[in-house]
Amino acid sequence: MNGRKSDVLVLGGGVIGLTTALVLAESGHRVGLWTRDPVGRTTSAVAGALFWPYRIEPVDRVGVWMEQSLSRYERFAEHPDRTGVRIVPGVMADTGPAELGSWASRVEGLREARADELPGGVGQGLRATVPLIDMPVHLRYLKERLRAAGGTVERRATIGFDEPAAEAPVVVNCTGMGARQLVPDASLYPARGQVVIVENPGIDEWFVMSLRGSADMTYVMPQPYGLLLGGTTSEHNWDLRPDPAEAEAIVARCARIHPALAGARVLEHRVGLRPVRPRVRLEAVPLPGGARLVHNYGHGGAGVTVAWGCAEEAARLAVG
């Protein structure tokens, strides 16, 4: 043994960091995780968390990561109360099968939606049954499972890699937007997303539609804690305060799909910053002094969708 507490130190307590740490710990490595924010207050906790790619490149690698992740979520869905993962049907509007990658062949019930299955004004869509994840529950599950595997979780921030490298010979950087300053990486930027949680009037399927000429979307995600309505994509916007005008517009857009939402009681507003990059950074580089640094960040709006595939690749880079 090297005399240090950990074989690998993972930075970042969101879904990417927790999943990567868990893969390493369950492979028999001594793993520590440092997170600047409480796990329940990371960007991951805000996510609508539908298993579908959004704002993530490169497409060819994303498909492989998705297939690996889907297998995990299908198993987790056998115990939804514990894992937060359910398999839920829904419609991806204004999308055809030719627009999807090879991963689509793994998706249960994927087919063209019939006209009577689409809201008025929507000419095309896909029906699919995919994982939909209650992120607060899922993050707690990952954290508990990590600890059960012998991993440690510590609230601790760092401004560089020297400090973690002094405590472990391998450091894995899963800091999301934090990597912009930590690395530093000027190619990483936030795509701000705002959602509204309302009382569910009885909607049990998800719905997603892109807005032509706009980066914003209309989506409805039935979660155990309420109905999650979205959404917005505001690039290079760091503001974490909910915007009342945006919230009103989100509810109005969703009410055009489900009129019963027009009077739904608002329970909560959430804002998160998606870590967008020209392509996911998943690679190993040497650090001064002989430590190894593995980067695993820049997953845009699809962190949960690719988490397990990326975690397995990052783990191979870390200890291979």
Mean pLDDT over each residue of the chain, to the nearest integer: 95
Output the six-digit token pair for 284.
């190993």
Q: Does 309 map to a domain?
A: yes
121 within some domain: no
110: in domain: no
SS3 156: coil
Counted domains in the chain: 1
Residue 40 is part of which domain span?
8-87+131-188+277-319
252-304 residue pLDDT tens: 999 999 999 998 999 999 999 999 999 999 999 999 999 999 999 999 999 99
What residue type is 313 in one-letter code? E
- Tens-digit pLDDT profile for residues 198-246: 999 999 999 999 877 777 899 999 999 999 999 999 999 999 999 999 9
Note whether residue 104 is domain-resident: no
Query: Is 26 among the domain residues?
Result: yes
CA angle 73, 78, 80 (to 5 degrees): 80
Residue 3 within a domain:
no
Q: Is residue 151 part of a domain?
A: yes
Alpha-carbon gap, residue 249 to 242, rounded angstroms = 12
- CATH assignment of the domain containing 175: 3.40.50.720
Residue 3, pLDDT score: 56
Per-residue pLDDT, 1: 41
Quote the pLDDT of residue 22.
98
Q: Where are the beta strands (DSSP E) in the chain?
A: 8-11, 31-35, 85-93, 108-112, 125-133, 152-155, 170-173, 189-198, 206-210, 217-223, 226-230, 234-235, 266-276, 281-286, 292-297
Contact 287, 56 (CB under 8 A): no
| 143 or 214, higher pLDDT | 143
Characterize the bridge pairing of strands 170-173 and 234-235.
unpaired
Domain membership flag for residue 65: yes
Q: Flag whether pLDDT at 320 surpasses 80.
A: no
- In one-letter notation, the amino acid at residue 205 is E
Amino acid at site 153: V
pLDDT digits (tens, 9 = 90+) for 45-93: 999 999 999 989 998 899 999 999 999 999 999 999 999 999 999 999 9
